[in-house]
Every structure is written in structure tokens, then in C-alpha cells.
């Protein structure tokens, strides 16, 4: 470090405070010429590069920082978070093995480690770390809520309920906490939280995410107690609040996917001339709430298959190859002809094959990968792709009632939902036509009504021999981090067919919009 290093660092901080990213970057680059392993400068430059859509530079700075980490648990966590942001999951795991973390008792560091494990899909390890952080004195509402979610993912519902109740005592208008609490169990006329929820609605700031979450919680409890007209009113209010908070443009989606289809011709989708060694992925795609978690549990019962959860890795490596921080937009579409798909496949596998744990296959279950399934096939010709197909009204209503988060703004409005479903159908039809035989459709109704026959088809498609007991999903004790966490711990059943009919009149606009779609 030279005498000018602190001065340059302070100047860069002033530029950042003023939103002057270019000036901050130039200053920090000058600082690195004097002190090439200044960890704070490297991590800050990584963040700036990411914001500027220079993903490769962001990864380079973060990897350099990782190679020179001091014995500071907080900095190790910061570096790992940045590495995860740019898809360097193997490097993240190396960070988690840093000696300074082995016996840490710092609550904030333990929470950061728990969050990293959670984001890696390692939910048992995440819960252990959340528990250690709790023992170290962590007790903020955000910490308690995140710990409650991990308890739910790991099937510890009673402990999760106790934690969520503490959250609501700390913050009475905490909508996400109230919604998580009511989702733990089916409510009854004799035992429910409706009076409590109505009181919280009087206190919450109107038009906020918490307000919407409380309305979804009221909807869920009213539906459980079969008061469907009142339930619909709460659901409609919650969705309207959330849709108003987003700037969603169905026309942009239609234009984007139209361009994707035009560019991804059968000739373009010819797979990369490469054979990848080692464990191979099985991608499960489809609309959210289509049954992807159920299929994941069935496949995950096979001795040669490991479920890796909902991985962002392919999209993250697509971003690296395209040097762009968005997985799919007009810029990426323009770059598609020039991308190195063999390298894309190699980078993906290098950062995911550890998840197979010695098995032949690992499941990558990210439903929205339907958008880029053609690119997956071109980069990973040995991969299997399974597309869950569920009745249109069932899957659309299941999305409308779910509160899926900011990533799915189309789910909060019936017309936007129908338009998004149309794009899903349109793109999948193109993938089937342009690369026949490369995606196996798995009908949800067949999976639930005759699970053994459907499982035979799926295993045969994946090149796996039949193993008795695959369809007994109660055998699968892995953590579940989706809204289906309760259902998939029960035997396979058919109770979730046509639940939308309880709201048939109110859902008529959605039904009419879906009916207009091409078959």
C-alpha cells in the first residue's frame, strides 16, 4: 500500500456516493495500480462492472479478491456474495472453506454464511448456520424470518411457527411473515387467524408489499374455510396492489419471444459438436406451479439421480458468455449467433457437476428455463429436458393465487397472466418443431393419476433403469424450497385438479383469454 491509496479510496467513495460510477471506476483502477490486491477496491470494481453489464470483468475482479482474502470473516462473505452473483459457485464453496470461518462466533458472519448456503441450495447446512447465528445473539426480524423459512424448507413446521409468531410480535404489519404463518397449515372455522389478520390490515401502510401479502393471507384462510366470495375479494385486492407496483409490458414479452423464435431456427439449434464428460443435468422446465417439484421428487428417488434444486447456473453462464447481466433481452438476442456454445456448456458443467455427489445425473429444476431450452440443448447436447404440462386454467389460477415475487409480475393480472401463458405455449411449440425429440412433455394429470406409468416414460427418456419405489415421494427426505413444500411430503394425489372452479365466475376473463389461444 502506498501513501496515496487511502486518498484514492476516499475519493472513490465520494464518487460512488454521488452516483458517478465512471469516475469511481477510474479512481479505483488507479488505486489498483498502486495496490493490486486491495480487497475493498477489487470487490467494489466487481460491483461497478456488474452494473455496467461487464460480467466478465465483474467475475475477474471477484476471483482476484478471492485469491487474496485476509483473515476477515466479513470480507470472505462479501467476496462469496459477489462470486455467487456472477455464477462462480465453485469459488463460492472455496470461500466457505476459508479457515477464518471454521470457528467463527460472529452472528452477522454466520448469517451471511447461512444465506450463501441457502442460495447454493444447501438447506440443511443453511439451517445449521442460522441456528448457530441465533445462538450467537442474532434476533432481527429479517434474520428470524429467514430462519423460519429454512425451518419450513427442512420440514420443521412447529419451530417455524414459533419463529414467525415472534416476527409478527416484533412487526405487527409484517405481511410476508403473516402469509408464511397461514401457509403452514390448513385453517378451519374453529381455528384460524382471520381476526388477527384483519387487525393487522388496519395498521399496515396501504399499497405496500406487506399490504398485499396480508390480503393473500386473508384469501388463503377464507378459502380454507370455504368462504369463496370473500376469499376472491381479498385475492383480487392483493394482486391489484402487486401489479400496480410493477411496470410490466406484455407487448414487450410478445416482441422478445417472437424475436427469439425467429433467430432460433432448426439450423441455429444444431447442438455443439462436443461430448461433455461426467455427470449430466436433467432440466425440468415449465410454467411455475405446473408440477415441477413433484417430478423432481420422483426423479430424485432414483439411485443415480440427485436433485440440485432451482439453479440459476445456466442463465448465469449465458450472461458470462454474452458479457451481459441479463439472461434474455434484445442485446442477448443480437449476440446469439456469435456466442461460444461449447464454452457455455463447459462453464455450466464446471460449476454444477459437484452437485451430482457421485451420481450419473443431477436435476436442474428452474421452471423459467423454458425460455432458453433451445440454447440449453445447443450448449449441452447430452442433457435431458423435461417440460411439465398442466391444464391451462389450473396452472394459471395456481400462479394467480401464489404471490411469487417481483420476478413474476405477469402473475398478478389475469390478462397479463394469459398473455404470458400464451408465450410459454408459443415458445415450447417452437422448440418441439425446431428440435424434435429433444424435450419430453410430462403431463401433470398423467403424473398424478398414473405416476408409475409416467415415471417409466420419464426414466426411459433419461436413459435410466426402472427402480421400484421411485413414485413413493414420501421416501424423499430432501429439503424443499418451493411453495409445494407441504404437498410433496404427502403421497401423490389428485386433489389439485380444477380448484379454480370455486371462482369460476370471477375467473371468466382469464378463461376467455386462454380459450383464444391456439391449440
Share of the chain above pLDDT 90, in %: 89
pLDDT band at 497; cut points 50, 70, 90: confident
Q: Give the up-direction half-sphere exposure of residue 348: CA atoms within 13 A in the CB hemisphere.
A: 33
To 5 degrees, how large is the angle CA 242–CA 243–CA 245? 65
pLDDT for 469 equals 85
Q: How many residues does the chain have?
A: 519
Q: Reply yes or no on whether the pLDDT at 478 is more than 90.
A: no
pLDDT band at 494; cut points 50, 70, 90: low
What is the model's pTM? Answer: 0.93
CA distance 438 to 436: 6
Contacts of residue 155, Cβ cutoff 8 Å, sequence gap at least 6: 479, 480, 485, 489
Coil/strand/helix, residue 455 = helix
pLDDT for 484 equals 52
Phi-psi region for residue 243, left (φ > 0), alpha (ψ -120 to 50) or beta? alpha
pLDDT band at 214; cut points 50, 70, 90: very high
Q: Out of 46-50, 271-275, 301-305, 378-382, pick the least confident.
A: 271-275
Contacts of residue 408, Cβ cutoff 8 Å, sequence gap at least 6: 288, 399
Q: Are 440 and 461 in contact (CB under 8 A)?
A: yes
To 5 degrees, how large is the angle CA 200–CA 205–CA 208? 105
pLDDT for 475 equals 66
pLDDT for 493 equals 52
pLDDT band at 491; cut points 50, 70, 90: low
Q: Are 459 and 470 in contact (CB under 8 A)?
A: yes
Arithmetic mean of pLDDT, 319-333: 97
Q: Reply yes or no on whether the pLDDT at 496 is more than 80.
A: no
Q: Are 79 and 62 in contact (CB under 8 A)?
A: yes
Runs of H (alpha helix) within 35-106: 39-51, 55-66, 73-85, 89-96
Give 89-97's long-range contacts (Cβ < 8 A, gap of 24+): 89/120, 89/313, 89/351, 89/352, 90/350, 90/351, 90/354, 91/62, 91/63, 91/66, 92/116, 92/120, 93/120, 93/354, 94/66, 95/66, 95/69
pLDDT for 473 equals 66
For the chain, domains (ranges, CATH) are 1-103 (1.25.40.10), 281-515 (3.40.50.300)
Q: Reply yes or no on whether the pLDDT at 482 is more than 70.
A: no
Coil/strand/helix, residue 507 = coil
pLDDT for 212 equals 98
pLDDT in tens, 63-104: 999 999 999 999 999 999 999 999 999 999 999 999 999 999
Secondary structure percentages of the chain, helix, strand, coil, to 5: 60, 5, 35
CA distance 411 to 289: 11
Q: Which among 311, 281, 306 has a CA at the least distance from the CA of 296? A: 306
Q: Reply yes or no on whether the pLDDT at 418 is more than 90.
A: yes
CA distance 205 to 185: 27
pLDDT in tens, 12-66: 999 999 999 999 999 999 999 999 999 999 999 999 999 999 999 999 999 999 9
pLDDT for 483 equals 61
pLDDT in tens, 103-153: 999 999 999 999 999 999 999 999 999 999 999 999 999 999 999 999 999
User: Who wins on pLDDT, 439 or 4?
Assistant: 439
pLDDT for 118 equals 96
To 5 degrees, how large is the angle CA 322–CA 323–CA 324? 90
pLDDT for 272 equals 74
pLDDT band at 3; cut points 50, 70, 90: low
CA distance 276 to 271: 12
Share of the chain above pLDDT 70, in %: 94
Coil/strand/helix, residue 190 = coil
CA distance 40 to 204: 39
Other Cβ atoms less than 10 A from the Cβ of 191: the count is: 9
Coil/strand/helix, residue 443 = strand
pLDDT for 470 equals 83
To 5 degrees, how large is the angle CA 183–CA 185–CA 186? 100
Other Cβ atoms less than 10 A from the Cβ of 194: the count is: 18
- Strands (E) across 300-430 are located at 305-307, 361-364, 384-389
pLDDT for 480 equals 55
Q: Give the up-direction half-sphere exposure of residue 229: CA atoms within 13 A in the CB hemisphere.
A: 0
Q: Reply yes or no on whether the pLDDT at 346 is more than 80.
A: yes
Amino acid at each position: 500500500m502506498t501513501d496515496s491509496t487511502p486518498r484514492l479510496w476516499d475519493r472513490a467513495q465520494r464518487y460512488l456516493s454521488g452516483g458517478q460510477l465512471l469516475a469511481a471506476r477510474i479512481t479505483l483502477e488507479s488505486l489498483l495500480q498502486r495496490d493490486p490486491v486491495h480487497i475493498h477496491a477489487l470487490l467494489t470494481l466487481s460491483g461497478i462492472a456488474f452494473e455496467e453489464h461487464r460480467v466478465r470483468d465483474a467475475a475477474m475482479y471477484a476471483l482476484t479478491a478471492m485469491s487474496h482474502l485476509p483473515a476477515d470473516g466479513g470480507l470472505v462473505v462479501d467476496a462469496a456474495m459477489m462470486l455467487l452473483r456472477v455464477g462462480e459457485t465453485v469459488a463460492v464453496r472455496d470461500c466457505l472453506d476459508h479457515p477464518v470461518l471454521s470457528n467463527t462466533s460472529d452472528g452477522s458472519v454466520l448469517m451471511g454464511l447461512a444465506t450463501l448456503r441457502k442460495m447454493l441450495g444447501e438447506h440443511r447446512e443453511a439451517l445449521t448456520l442460522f441456528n448457530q447465528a441465533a445462538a450467537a445473539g442474532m434476533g432481527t426480524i429479517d434474520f428470524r424470518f429467514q430462519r423460519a423459512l429454512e425451518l419450513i424448507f427442512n420440514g420443521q413446521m412447529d419451530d417455524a411457527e414459533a419463529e414467525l409468531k415472534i416476527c409478527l410480535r416484533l412487526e405487527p404489519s409484517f405481511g410476508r411473515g403473516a402469509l408464511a404463518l397461514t401457509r403452514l397449515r390448513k385453517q378451519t372455522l374453529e381455528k384460524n387467524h382471520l381476526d388477527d389478520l384483519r387487525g393487522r390490515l388496519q395498521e399496515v401502510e396501504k399499497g405496500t408489499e406487506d399490504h398485499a401479502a396480508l390480503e393473500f393471507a386473508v384469501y388463503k384462510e377464507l378459502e380454507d374455510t370455504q368462504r369463496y366470495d370473500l376469499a376472491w375479494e381479498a385475492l383480487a385486492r392483493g394482486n391489484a396492489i402487486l401489479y400496480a407496483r410493477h411496470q410490466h409490458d406484455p407487448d414487450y414479452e410478445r416482441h422478445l419471444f417472437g424475436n427469439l423464435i425467429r433467430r432460433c431456427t432448426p439450423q441455429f439449434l444444431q447442438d455443439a459438436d462436443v461430448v461433455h464428460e461426467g455427470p449430466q443435468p436433467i432440466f425440468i422446465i415449465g410454467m411455475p406451479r405446473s408440477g415441477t417439484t413433484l417430478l423432481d421428487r420422483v426423479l430424485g428417488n432414483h439411485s443415480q439421480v440427485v436433485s440440485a434444486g432451482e439453479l440459476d447456473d445456466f442463465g448465469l453462464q449465458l450472461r458470462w458468455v454474452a458479457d451481459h447481466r441479463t439472461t434474455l433481452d434484445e442485446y442477448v438476442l443480437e449476440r446469439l449467433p456469435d456466442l461460444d456454445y461449447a464454452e457455455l456448456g463447459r462453464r455450466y458443467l464446471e460449476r454444477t457437476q459437484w452437485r451430482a455427489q457421485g451420481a450419473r445425473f443431477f436435476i436442474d429444476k428452474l421452471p423459467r428455463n423454458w425460455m432458453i431450452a433451445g440454447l440449453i440443448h445447443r450448449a449441452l447436447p447430452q442433457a435431458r429436458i423435461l417440460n411439465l404440462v398442466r391444464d391451462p386454467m389450473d396452472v394459471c389460477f395456481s400462479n394467480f393465487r401464489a404471490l411469487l415475487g417481483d420476478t413474476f409480475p405477469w402473475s398478478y393480472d389475469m390478462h397479463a397472466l394469459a398473455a404470458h401463458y400464451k408465450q410459454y405455449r408459443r415458445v415450447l411449440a417452437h422448440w418441439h418443431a425446431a428440435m424434435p425429440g429433444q424435450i419430453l412433455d410430462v403431463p401433470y394429470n398423467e403424473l398424478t393419476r398414473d405416476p408409475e406409468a409416467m415415471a417409466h416414460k420419464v426414466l426411459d427418456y433419461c436413459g435410466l433403469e426402472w427402480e421400484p419405489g421411485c413414485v413413493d415421494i414420501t421416501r424423499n427426505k430432501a429439503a424443499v424450497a418451493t411453495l409445494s413444500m407441504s404437498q410433496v411430503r404427502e403421497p401423490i394425489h389428485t386433489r389439485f385438479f380444477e380448484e379454480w372452479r370455486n371462482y369460476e365466475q370471477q375467473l371468466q376473463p382469464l378463461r376467455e383469454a386462454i380459450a383464444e389461444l391456439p391449440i
